């Protein structure tokens, strides 16, 4: 039964936008005073995305508030022990979809395609992590 639940959660993550790129890095790093990602972690995440997507300074400035808004939401879901894997997957998917909707108008079509590829890689890493728990 546990494998079925994990498979269903992994399938939900694989078929839908789930999490922002490198969220695992943020959750394992140093936490800010409120228990969430700190400004340095968000800045590092933005820099990684910027390098991969070759963002302009204006694009970086537009993405920063989106990342700042999303990070604590993701952290809250991941640390919520009252949620099961499927519930977490669904909530993370909703956050991911909302982020995608905000990010897409900022990026060029080519950048957005790379964004989606980065997210797919992150989903695959998350599925592997879930299988080993």
Q: Is 109's pLDDT higher than 90?
A: yes
3-state secondary structure of 61: helix
How do residues 54-82 score in pLDDT, each as one tens digit?
A: 999 999 999 999 999 999 998 999 899 99
Please, are residues 34 and 73 in contact by the beta-carbon 8 Å criterion?
no
| φ/ψ of residue 31, rounded to 5 | -100, 150
Task: Break the chain into its structural domains and give their ranges.
Answer: 2-131
Half-sphere exposure of 59 (CA within 13 A, CB side): 18
Question: 6 pLDDT band (50/70/90 cuts)?
Answer: very low
Predicted confidence (pLDDT) at residue 51 exceeds the cutoff of 90:
yes
Q: Coil, helix or strand for 130?
A: helix
Residue 60 parent element (H or E): helix 57-79
pLDDT at site 72: 93
The conformation of residue 131, written as its DSSP 8-state character, comes to H
pLDDT tens track for 82-103: 998 889 888 988 999 999 999 9
Confidence (pLDDT) at 125: 85
Indicate the SS3 state at residue 28: helix
126: pLDDT strictly greater than 60: yes
| Integer Cα distance of 75 and 1 in angstroms | 27
pLDDT given at position 123 = 79
In this predicted model, what pLDDT tens digit does every residue of 12-50 receive, in sequence order?
443 333 333 334 433 444 344 445 678 888 999 899 999
Strand partners, 31: 37
pLDDT value at residue 1:
54
């Amino acid at each position: 039964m546990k494998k079925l639940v994990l498979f269903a959660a992994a399938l939900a993550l694989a078929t839908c936008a789930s999490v922002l790129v490198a969220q695992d890095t943020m959750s394992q790093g140093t936490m800010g005073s409120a228990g969430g990602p700190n400004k340095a972690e968000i800045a590092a995440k933005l820099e990684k995305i910027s390098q991969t997507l070759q963002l302009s300074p204006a694009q970086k400035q537009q993405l920063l508030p989106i990342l700042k808004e999303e990070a604590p939401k993701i952290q809250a879901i991941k640390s919520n022990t009252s949620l099961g894997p499927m519930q977490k997957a669904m909530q993370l998917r909703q956050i991911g979809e909302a982020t995608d909707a905000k990010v897409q108008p900022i990026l060029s079509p080519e950048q957005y395609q790379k964004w989606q590829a980065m997210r797919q890689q992150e989903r695959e890493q998350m599925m592997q992590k879930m299988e080993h728990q």
